[in-house]
């Protein structure tokens, strides 16, 4: 009892290394790197630029028109005359102001859509990082189990030679070592796969994530404060609000489309004898081409408002559901007494070495504890991903 058993020392040291150390948040550094290097994010940025320029281009003046005519008289004098006309058409001045405001509102919505795409990609990358951290935790734990199993293998191999153990127990131990090696190998495969996916998202620029502890997360305790914070920072709500404002402004634009259009220009006529210069002023009354456009714009604006309200209600309900899920998962995590589990493994090891239990009994009980550790690791990972989803708009 005076000496510290190998299993207790190893696992307690492992527990301390996970929960007592302070590890730099390298996840944020990886996400910053992906934000800079990811080709999909760059493509979204350029696409947003194109859409913004396209929205603003609808307010451009129409191209000027130039025409030239040369005519010849079929008479004895063979008179010759020419005509040159330059025309520029433009809409009623207030239409340019309204369309510019509408385009700016539309561009706000484009920016929000760009932010949503970037956010979702970085959230996917963060989930990968959290999975890699889980694999790192599992790898460390498996390595400690391998150390213990190798120690037990040496111990019982010596007992077999001395006739103090039977073949069934020794074969059980060998199968356990074999099973652990398989789990370690699978863990390495999963780790390489996840890291390769992260590498691809970073434009094949190498990244490393060796930490086995999660970044610190915010505590979520007050529902009202949590709901207000989430609603205020939600980019999806901001995007649809921008689309709603743009749709409302489009109604104003369509109403002004009934205003007349104007043409001004220069005209020059020349003959064999003299030349004449003058100005042209004209206009267009849009009586037919704008029919029903105001009604269409109003219907679209109303549809967008209904959609905005629907999204708001859905989002608010989702926030409440996430708050409840966070509380439940946090309670489940807190229910795990890791010290008790480590101490129980320690007692099992002591009982095994003192001969109070057989090796098979030891593994039956120990596997149940190992299973609980695995459940804890997976629950902790799901909790971290849930928190990542909750605060995704801050990525």
C-alpha Rg value of the chain to the nearest Å: 37
User: Residue 150: pLDDT band by 50, 70, 90 thresholds?
Assistant: confident
- Are the C-beta atoms of 21 and 213 separated by less than 8 Å? yes
CB 122 within 8 A of CB 35: yes
Identify which of 116, 131, 144 has the alpha carbon closest to the alpha carbon of residue 9: 144
Instruction: Answer for the pair 199, 206: CB distance below 8 angstroms, yes or no.
Output: yes
Identify the bridge partners of residue 67 per DSSP, sorted by sequence position: 85
User: Could you read off the pLDDT of 330-372 as tens digits, one per residue?
Assistant: 999 999 998 898 888 888 888 887 888 888 888 888 888 999 9
CB of 345 within 8 A of CB of 11? yes
pLDDT at 6 over 50: no
Q: Looking at the domain assignment, is residue 352 inside a domain? A: yes
Q: Which residues make Cβ contacts (< 8 Å) with residue 318, sequence separation at least 6?
A: none
Tell me how many domains the chain contains.
1
Beta-sheet strand order (sheet of 65-72) = 65-72, 80-90, 261-270, 275-284
The closest alpha carbon to 145, from 176, 111, 171, 104, belongs to 176
How many Å apart are CA 220 and CA 225, to the nearest integer?
9
| Domain extent at residue 182 | 6-394
Q: Is residue 224 part of a domain?
A: yes
Q: Say which CATH number the domain at 238 has.
A: 1.20.1600.10
For 166-212, the pLDDT digits (tens) are: 778 778 888 888 889 999 999 999 999 999 999 999 999 988 898 88
Beta bridge partners of 72: 80
Q: For residue 219, is it within any domain?
A: yes
User: In this structure, is residue 1 part of a structural domain?
Assistant: no
């Amino acid at each position: 009892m005076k000496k510290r058993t190998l299993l207790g020392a190893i696992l307690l040291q492992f527990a301390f290394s996970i929960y007592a150390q302070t590890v730099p948040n390298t996840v944020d550094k990886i996400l910053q790197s992906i934000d800079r290097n990811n080709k999909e994010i760059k493509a979204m940025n350029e696409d947003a630029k194109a859409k913004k320029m396209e929205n603003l281009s609808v307010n451009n003046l129409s191209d000027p028109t130039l025409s030239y005519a040369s005519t010849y008289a079929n008479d004895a004098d063979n008179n010759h005359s020419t005509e040159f006309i330059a025309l520029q058409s433009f809409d009623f001045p207030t239409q340019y102001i309204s369309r510019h405001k509408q385009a700016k509102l539309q561009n706000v919505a484009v920016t929000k859509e760009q932010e949503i795409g970037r956010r979702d990609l970085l959230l996917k990358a963060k989930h990968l990082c959290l999975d890699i951290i889980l694999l790192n935790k599992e790898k460390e734990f498996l390595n400690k189990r391998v150390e213990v199993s190798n120690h037990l293998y040496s111990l019982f191999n010596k007992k077999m030679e001395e006739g103090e153990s039977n073949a069934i127990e020794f074969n059980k131990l060998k199968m356990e070592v074999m099973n652990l090696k398989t789990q370690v190998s699978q863990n390495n495969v999963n780790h390489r796969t996840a890291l390769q996916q992260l590498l691809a998202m970073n434009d094949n620029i190498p990244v490393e994530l060796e930490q086995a502890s999660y970044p610190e997360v915010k505590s979520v305790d007050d529902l009202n404060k949590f709901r207000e914070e989430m609603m205020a920072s939600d980019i999806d709500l901001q995007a649809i609000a921008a689309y709603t404002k743009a749709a409302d402004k489009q109604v104003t634009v369509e109403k002004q489309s009934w205003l007349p259009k104007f043409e001004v220009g220069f005209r020059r006529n020349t003959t064999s004898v003299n030349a004449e210069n003058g100005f042209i002023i004209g206009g267009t009354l849009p009586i037919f081409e704008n029919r029903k456009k105001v009604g269409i714009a109003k219907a679209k604006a109303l549809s967008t408002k209904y959609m905005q309200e629907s999204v708001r209600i859905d989002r608010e309900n989702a926030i409440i559901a996430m708050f409840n899920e966070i509380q439940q998962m946090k309670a489940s995590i807190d229910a795990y007494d890791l010290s008790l589990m480590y101490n129980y493994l320690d007692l099992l090891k002591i009982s095994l070495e003192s001969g109070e239990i057989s090796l098979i009994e030891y593994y039956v009980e120990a596997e149940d504890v190992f299973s609980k550790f695995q459940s804890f690791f997976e629950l902790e990972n799901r909790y971290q991903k849930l928190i990542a989803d909750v605060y995704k708009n801050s990525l």
